[in-house]
Amino acid sequence: MTHSDILIIGGGIAGMSAAYFLAKAGKSVTVLEREDQPGYHSTGRSAALYSETYGPKIIRKMSTASRDFFITPPDGFTENPILTPRGIIMTAAPGEEAELDAILTEGRANGANFVALTPDELKEIVPIINTDLIAAAAHETDAMDIDVHALHWGFIRRFKAMGGTLVTKADVSAISKSGDGWTVTLSKGEEYRGDIVVNAAGAWADDIAIKAGVKPLGITPKRRTAVMIDLPSDVKAHGWPLVASLDETLYFKEDAGRLLVSPADTTPTEPHDVQPEELDIAITIDRLMTATSVEVRRPGESWAGLRSFFKDGDPVSAFDPQESSFYWLAGQGGYGIQTAPAMGEYAASMICGNGIPAHMTRLGITEDALSATRASLVTGK
């Protein structure tokens, strides 16, 4: 029977970033991943973008706290840059101008480089846009694409190099606690022991809690669809920013001369190997054809991923209030990639009893914002 200081259940970006920082802190760590490859359900299906102005307040702070890691990762972490220039343009429909102005004001105050665009200026950048539906737009020029594979596997490689253990095909069947720690039993019979269990199981986080005899916090997996669309031969999309509607009903970005398009759907579902629905693909195409001049005769490949949320939309990174050796690291929604370095470092520091890292404290990050007992987690307000 293998014993580690820490057992992490889930080898996606949340689990592996925490594993990396825990191993760096000198802890023995075993990560148990139910699939045959880590990051299969959410991490590996993400069209990730780094923006310090995207998401709820705690997400924006965690994104800022991740900036230095993304720009200057540790030596040997990856051969390729994690961030590459992209930019993001947010479009506002008539009646949404004030909301867009508020985003520009906050973003600029936080140091983001925002340029306001008229509809005509927007069309010069992205010629296919239907400006009849747009009252105003804003271009965040320093938003970046994230190389998800480089980031995730950088954590995995460095974790293993520091002596960490990653076990795949590790479907958890039972979790029990005795006086000297936890025992996690896999469906194929192997047992792993640890002093602390970290629940980084994403959409399955509540299921893991129940198996451990811990009260679930109410996580909801939600489906997100993406479709590849071919562009006409005379449309040269290279270098376009990602374009997203302010009401979060459509976004698209150029990908190798094609468009990756999503209706930004958040359809509640059960945790499973989620696949795209025909209706969602049809909605995606209809919204793209309404927002642009692109005529879609036949969609390309499509896929779906799971984004998991708690009631108030913010993640939890904290010990369970009733079980002091069971740590929740879940509910990152669609922001797990862009916050991974900070979330992993935060979790490791809290698990090791070192409190919030100083550079996060300076950003105003508090334990309450990520706690398992915050009032908004219960009320959703």
Q: Is residue 83 part of a domain?
A: no
Is residue 369 assigned to a domain?
yes
Reply yes or no on whether the pLDDT at 1 is more than 80.
no
Based on the fold, state whether residues 24 and 133 are members of the same structural domain: no
304 plus 235 within the same structural domain: yes
As for how many domains the chain has, the answer is: 2
pLDDT grade, residue 334 (50/70/90)?
Answer: confident
Q: Has residue 280 been placed in a domain?
A: yes
CA atoms within 13 A on the CB side of 31: 32
- Claim to verify: residue 167 and residue 206 sit in the same structural domain: yes
Residue 87 contacts residue 139 (beta carbons within 8 Å): yes
Whether residue 77 is contained in a domain is answered as: no
On whether both 52 and 176 belong to a single domain, the answer is yes
What would the pLDDT profile of 237-288 be if each residue is shown by its tens digit?
Answer: 988 999 999 998 999 999 989 999 999 898 999 887 889 999 999 999 999 9
pTM over 0.85: yes
Position 291, amino acid: A
State whether 305 and 317 are in the same domain: no
pLDDT number for residue 44: 41
Q: Which residue range(s) make up the domain with 12?
A: 2-70+148-218+313-379
Closest CA to 265 of 334, 177, 345, 356: 334
21 inside domain: yes
C-alpha angle 9-10-16 in degrees, rounded to nearest 5: 110
In sequence order, what are the residues at sequence separation of 6 or more whose Cβ sits closer than 8 angstroms to the Cβ of residue 167? 30, 31, 32, 33, 192
Alpha-carbon distance values, 301 to 47, 276, 304 (Å): 14, 10, 11
Look at residues 290, 309, 328 and tell me which one is the last residue of a structural domain.
Answer: 309
Note whether 157 and 269 are same-domain residues.
Answer: no
Question: What are the φ and ψ backbone dihedral angles of 229, each rounded to 5 degrees?
Answer: -125, 130
Give per-residue pLDDT as tens, 86-99: 999 999 999 999 99
Residues 96 and 119 grouped into a single domain: yes
Question: Do 203 and 255 belong to one domain?
Answer: no
* Residue 108, pLDDT score: 83
pLDDT tens-digit series, residues 5-17: 999 999 999 999 9
Q: Which of 22-26, 38-42, 328-332, 372-376 has the lowest mean pLDDT?
A: 38-42
Whether residues 234 and 290 fall in one domain? yes
- The mean of the pLDDT values for the chain is 92
211-242 pLDDT tens trace:
999 999 999 999 999 999 999 989 989 889 99
Judge if 194 and 243 occupy the same domain.
no
pLDDT of 301 > 80? The answer is yes
The CATH number assigned to the domain holding 343 equals 3.50.50.60
Q: What are phi and psi of 91, to 5 degrees?
A: -110, 140
CB distance 52 to 67 below 8 Å: yes
> Which domain-ending residue is among 269, 293, 309?
309
